[in-house]
Each structure stands twice: as C-alpha cells, then as structure tokens.
Structure 1
C-alpha cells in the first residue's frame, strides 16, 4: 500500500537556469521523455540574457516559467521554485539543474520508494559514476579539514558495485526528490547562500529533523558538464565556496573546535596564498570569514514560519 501511495503522489520538477539555453534544451527533452510524467515543471529563469526564453516556448511539458528581474543565484532560484511548488500543493518536489538529463525511467524508479528524501545517482556522458553526494559529512572532527570524508563515487567506484539504496549525509540539488512534509517542517532552501552549499544546508536540516536520505542506484541522471568549480578559489566563485563552507561550520558544527575551524582555515589559506591562489585567494577567504559570521542563523525567508506568509511574485 505504501508503494501505491507513493506512485500516486503528485510531483513538481523545479529547474533553475541561467544563460545555458543549449544545455536547458537537453534537460527539458529528458523530462519530456520520462515514463512517469511530472505534474508540473517549474523553471526559474535567473534573468538570462541568452535565448533561454525561446527554449522555454514548448508545449510538450506542463511548464511554468518564473523569470526573475535579477540573478538570484542557484540558491535563490531553488528557494523561489520550491516555494512555488509548495504553495501549489504538490506532494513531492524534484530539484534539477539545467545541465543534467534524467534517464526515461528515473522518476519511475524514484517514485517506487516510499521515502521522504531520495537522490538520483549521477553519471557522466560516458557512463562513469560521478556521484559526489557525501556518504559521510563530518562536522564533529576538527581535524577533518574537508567535512566531506566519503562520497558515493569514491566509496563504490561503479554503479554496479552499489547497493540498491545508499544512505547519504548530504545531496546536490541535481535530482533530489523531497516530500512537501519535509519542507513544511524544516523550511525552504536558504537564498542567502547564492551559490554552493544551499543543498548541503537543506540536507543537514532534514537529517537533524530525523529524515534519512537515500541515494537510489537505479535512478540515473546524466551530467553534461565536468566538475571543475573547485579550481576557482581565487575568483568570484571561490569567495562563495569559502564563505558558505564557513557558514555550514558555524551553523552546524557539533562542538566548539569545529565551529572554530573557519578561522584556522582562513589563516592557513592567507599564509599559504603566495604559494597557491595569491592575493586574490587571500582576499576571498578573509572576506568570506567576515561575511560568514553574519550568516550564522538560517535566513528568515527560509525558516518554516516563512511558509505561512505569501511570497512576492517575480516579474
């Protein structure tokens, strides 16, 4: 009976896009080819200046397009999209980036599991497992410089080596399926992150509320682009990567030593900057530390209480 109930639930897909119209075409084609059709596809267009709006003129999907007056970042886009899906009463919300393509049976497989939090498992265009969701995210050990101490890709190596379900400590907002009951309890993605770690934050809140998160081996999602953002620590993305990593430690660190790690990391990066990212990375990490201190608490817009207030509408 639980499986039947799960399969009867309504599903809204939330896609966030910004100036990647050609990738968005493949993503939408993948949604249109799903065996289990979504009940709504809510696309948040983050003020794109390319031909995204032309791509979104199609009638083979139940599209709802939210065009923002400015770029809200991935975090702001998912905040708006999840809020919209929640307000429309959908039972489950499936979060997607614009550079992934689901296999035709991906949603069918996910919906066969009566669980509150499920994650598709990503592979690259050659069929190699590239799922970086954490099997262990350590916010207890102050000596763990990087809290992600295990991930699906490194633990299993291949999809064939995985069990059917793998318990995860965090997720990416690329194929994450969550029930509205979870959103009602823990709130929305936090738009203050702008980019990076908004998905980690959401998963940590879900787990602390007692939810378990499962990676579903046979729910395949194909990622069209390589993971290369970690090499930009001296650029503008590096600022957000450092700042938001620090925010996660300050919000969810399980002891004082872990909550002090941002200061130690910032000091180490600044001292070593002549040997790696130079002055730009040093400036990034010091500004990130300063700004992270002002984000120690969940944004009011993301808190459960915000769901009781009507949202502002994008243009």
Structure 2
C-alpha cells in the first residue's frame, strides 16, 4: 500500500536562509508528515546555520542537517539522495529552498502509485508555471532546443489538466522517486555541478522503462520568478553549454543528435563577432572539451552495489 511507504525529503540550500524558513514551514504543515527531512547545506555563508539550528530546537520536523562545501545543486542532491537511499526510505522527495508545498502536496503525491512523480508549480499569484517538458526531443537533429513544449504551455491552467500528465524531464523542485528506481539507475550525477542534473536523471529513469507523471493536485508554490536566461559568456554559461552537450552525448537517440554539440559549438564560434563575443566562444569551446569526458555517468552516480 502506498500509504505505508516511508518518504524522506531532500532539501538543498545555499545562501537563501530567509527563503529556507518558508520552505521548512511548508514541510512542517504537511497533512502527510514526512519521515525524514534531510537538508544539505552547500557551504552557505549567510545565516542559514542559525535558521537550521533554531529549526532543530523547535523539533517540529524530523530534521537532519548535512553541511558540506559548495558542490553545486548536483552535488547537494547527489549527497541527499544517497543518504536517503542508504537509510532505506521507500520514496525520496527532492526540494529546492525557494519553493513552498501546499499543505496537502505530499499527501497528493503519496496517493499516486507510480515510481516517478512531480508536483506542479505555480507562482505567488497562483498562475501555473510548470516548466517540465511534455516533449523533450532527443531524436530530431534539427530541434535547436530539445524542450519542445511544457506543462504550462500545453494547459491553460491547473483546472484544465487531467489528474496525471506524463512529462519527459523534471526539475529537482518537487520531484519524487522511489528508491527502487535509484537502485536500478543510480544517483543524481554530481559531475554536472549545476543545470541539467535533473534532466539527466529523468532521462535515465525513462530509459529504464519508467514514466514520469506530473500530479495536478500536488501544488508547489515558487517564491521566485523563473530566470532561465543566463550570461552565456559567464561561469554559468559554461555549465549551461557543457551540461546541455552532455545530455545530447549521453542520451541522443541517433548519431546526428549526438553530433549537435559540435555543430552548436561551431555556430557559436562563427557568430561570436556579432553576438556573445570572445568570452562566449571560449566558454563553448571549453564546454565541448569538458563534455566529451562526461559521456558516461560518473562513478559516484552509478547504481549502488
């Protein structure tokens, strides 16, 4: 019975202490209480440690805090999922520090007997902003961006959705996975550092034969606006390019799709005099060189033995 399954929440945080307070308040208010809340503090230098110590003293959550150097979101989720898996929890619910679950969010997820689920995000005004891809195209070499459509582009609002919508990628904001999946496909890959670790994990799950379902009635409220536009000539741009390339190299369904990273690199370099400049050109060249060494899942992310 799904109601008897245990569930651990994994929260990754870095220098967002004030947002973390609301996130933890939301977990404490759940009608289905989590069995564990594992917070990975990724080397925060603000007052995150004070927030967490005060929360432990309140004793309103089964809270465990793990502090590590900043290994990026990917390193944080890897550590948290591995900890939850090693402790033997049946399901693992991944959460960022800038979202707040509605009180019945966890209950709605636990009521669905599927291996991979996501809560459906909305903004502070109640508008659905779920960016998980309904179609993530790793087959068509002419698709400039693999994310072809999203939940919030396919449905006008939450009310127009069916109870379950199949999606092809996820964000680690409200994603729930059964430990049996982790046992088969492994852990989130810390080598990504930031960006696309969640996409890679979802594609690996789908390649194992699992389906990923967005649960209409599981409401997750995002506290910040989406900012998916990053300076491609800066340090985040390197990871955006590299990790997008890695997803294509690992999971491209044909040779032409796996060649796309080289074509994108060439295009960016050729266009650099009129857009992006030398810094972006250097970034994309470095990204391509690094991605070539990441064609396989890194050793720490491989299935447990």
* TM-score, length-scaled by structure 1: 0.94
2:293 counterpart SS class: helix
* CA distance, structure 2, for counterparts of residue 186 and residue 93 of structure 1: 14
Match of 1:24 among 12, 20, 23: 20
Which residue is 2:168 aligned to?
169
3-state SS of the aligned residue for 1:44? strand
Q: CA deviation at 1:108?
A: 0.6
**Matched residues in 2 for 1:234 and 1:279: separation?**
8
Q: Distance in 1 between matches of 2:113 and 2:301?
A: 26
Q: 1:61 maps to what in 2?
A: 61
1:243 corresponding residue in structure 2: 242
- Structure 1, residues 196-217: CA drift from partner, whole Å, max 9, x if none? 1000111011101010110001
Residue correspondence of structure 1 range 179-198 to structure 2 within 5 A: 179-198=178-197
Q: 1:52 aligns with which of 25, 39, 48?
A: 48
Alignment pair present for 1:157 and 2:156: yes
Secondary structure, counterpart of 1:274 in structure 2: coil
Give 1:268 deviation, angstroms.
1.2
1:110 aligns with 2:109: yes
Counterpart position of 1:275: 274
Deviations 1:54-109 (A, max 9, x none): 111212111110000x2110001000000000000000000000000000000011
Pair 1:35 & 2:31 matched: yes
Aligned pairs for 1:77-156 (under 5 A) are: 77-156=76-155
Q: Which residue of 1 aligns with 2:200?
A: 201
Q: Report 1:224-235 matches (<5 A).
A: 224-235=223-234
Say whether residues 1:14 and 2:10 are aligned partners. yes
Look up the SS of the partner of 1:177 in the other structure. strand
> After TM superposition, which residue ranges in structure 1, 4 or more long, deviate above 4 angstroms?
none
1: distance between equivalents of 2:157 and 2:279?
38
Distance in 1 between residues matched to 2:127 and 2:241, nearest whole Å: 29
SS in 1 for 2:272: helix
Whole-Å Cα distance in 2 between the matches of residues 65 and 215 of structure 1? Answer: 29
Q: Distance in 1 between matches of 2:287 and 2:124?
A: 34
Gaps of 5+ in 2: none
| C-alpha distance in 2 between matches for 1:118 and 1:232 | 31
**Alpha-carbon separation, structure 1, partners of 2:160 and 2:132:** 16
Deviation at 1:229, TM superposition (A): 3.5
Q: Which stretch of structure 1 is more off in the superposition, 55-64 or 223-232?
A: 223-232
Counterpart-to-counterpart distance in 2, 1:145 and 1:16: 31
Which residue of the partner structure matches residue 254 of structure 1?
Answer: 253
The Cα offsets for residues 93-146 of structure 1, whole Å up to 9 and x where unpaired, read as: 000000000000000111111111110000011111110001011111000010
Rounded Cα–Cα distance in structure 2 between residues aligned with 1:157 and 1:99: 24
RMSD: 0.9
Question: In 2, Cα distance between the equivalents of 1:265 and 1:154?
Answer: 26
Rounded Cα–Cα distance in structure 2 between residues aligned with 1:229 and 1:133: 13
Do 2:230 and 2:236's aligned partners in 1 also have CA atoms closer than 8 Å? Answer: no
Give the Å deviation of 1:277. Answer: 2.1
